[in-house]
Amino acid sequence: MKFRVERDALAEAVAWTAKSLPNRPSVPVLAGVMLRVTDGNLQVSGFDYEVSSQVTVEVQGDADGAALVSGRLLAEITKALPGKPVDIAAVGAHLELVCGSARFTLPTMPVEDYPALPEMPESAGTVDAAAFAAAVAQVAVAAGRDETLPMMTGVRLELNGDTLAMLATDRYRLALREMQWRPDDAGVSINALVPARTLHDTAKALGPLGGEVTLALSQGAAGEGMIGFSGGTRRTTSRLLDGANYPPVRSLFPPSHNAEARVSVSTLIEVVKRVALVAERTTPVLLSFSSDGLVVEAGGTEEARASEAMDATFTGDALTVGFNPQYLIDGLANLGAQTAMLAFVDALKPAVISPAGEDGEVIPGYRYLIMPIRVSR
């Protein structure tokens, strides 16, 4: 194998592929990225039996072939190279990389020991890449991080006709985003539970490319299905999580509310961050709403306290509600709007945060539910 490639294209391809490689692979070859040159195209791919990534780059190919090298090491090297064309050649059990006056020799692993990448499932439809990336970011923030509860670490995709809905929850907050997409089958009705981290990383990488992302799905037995995403020269596949017993979380959204407030998103984020400086890790920030506006308070150890008032338009009976400050900031930061509408039933029931337009009306499509923390005053 021997080829020449532009430095930026190589670095970007290797970085994207290496990002999904396991930190502690079950077998050494899974820590590698496969470089395969065929007819002037370089395929950079990675696979850990759960997630596969592949990107194609145009190169000046002198000799077709394949080599398997450490993904993380190659990513660090290509990122640090000067901005000149890169010459790469497989020589015996090593890979030689030359860029300007920089020269690297890397050991390779046996290509024949590397597992074959899974085939892309059958296409289910397409969605705008940028809109999809923004929507995934809004939802993935609410997914759980606890691997002992794998169902909570996923984002549930609900494909019904031309509506694509995404839900995620860690039991303390819940995010729901609905958007339009273009299904191959207008009568489609499929649910799938996708690992949140994989979905977020993939959408984030495909979004800036523009154009459309193709969603591909194959449904097997519980937990055995696969989902694929492709856009431009990139494609990713991932095994689905077992979502057969995913809770009916939509029912958590209250059908009505007794009070609502409209606040500036950026101002409230800044105020919560400042006030929360005195709060312990498990201590909530208190939001006291009244016709006069909003007061945000927090208390910590050794009598450390903070409070700050800000403008808010509030209707309903005055109430004080406590929230985890980071969960509150996460919800506000992902609204995609300058104004937030907070709807309350009472201080002990879940609150719902929605984006609002300049006229104060709620913008449909995204809702972020957050559980309050009981406080005694």
Other Cβ atoms less than 10 A from the Cβ of 100: the count is 12
pLDDT at 366 over 70: yes
Instruction: Please report, for the chain, the start and end positions of each structural domain, with discontinuous segments joined by +.
Output: 2-109, 123-250, 253-370
pLDDT at 24: 87
Token pair for 344: 């309350």
Token pair for 348: 């002990």
Q: Among 5-19, 107-121, 213-227, where is mean pLDDT lowest?
A: 213-227
**Which regions of 75-122 does DSSP assign to beta strands (E)?**
86-91, 94-99, 102-107
Mean pLDDT across the stretch 34-40?
95
Fold agreement between 123-250 and 253-370? yes
SS3 274: helix
pLDDT at 301: 64
The CATH architecture that domain 253-370 belongs to is Roll (3.10)
Strand partners, 33: 69
The share of the chain scoring above pLDDT 70, in percent, equals 97
Mean pLDDT across the stretch 54-64?
94
pLDDT digits (tens, 9 = 90+) for 110-125: 999 999 999 999 999 9
Mean pLDDT across the stretch 252-256?
95
Mean pLDDT across the stretch 216-221?
76
Mean pLDDT across the stretch 311-318?
96
CATH number 2.60.120.10 is the correct assignment for the domain at 2-109: no
pLDDT at 210: 85
Cβ proximity of 206 and 232 under 8 Å? yes
pLDDT at 367: 98
pLDDT at 220 over 90: no
pLDDT band at 22 (very low <50, low <70, confident <90, very high): confident
Strands 259-264 vs 339-344: parallel, antiparallel or unpaired:
antiparallel
Cα of first residue to Cα of last residue in the chain, in angstroms, is: 71
Interacting residues of 125 by C-beta distance below 8 A, sequence separation 6+: 159, 181, 182, 183, 184, 185, 188, 214, 215
The share of the chain scoring above pLDDT 90, in percent, equals 87
pLDDT at 377: 58
Of the candidates 149, 100, 138, the residue with the CA atom closest to the CA atom of residue 332:
138
Mean pLDDT across the stretch 193-197?
95
SS3 sequence of 15-41: HHHHHCCCCCCCCHHHHEEEEEEECCE
What topology is assigned to 123-250 in CATH? DNA Polymerase III; Chain A, domain 2 (3.10.150)
Chain mean pLDDT for the chain: 93
Of the candidates 152, 153, 180, the residue with the CA atom closest to the CA atom of residue 165:
180
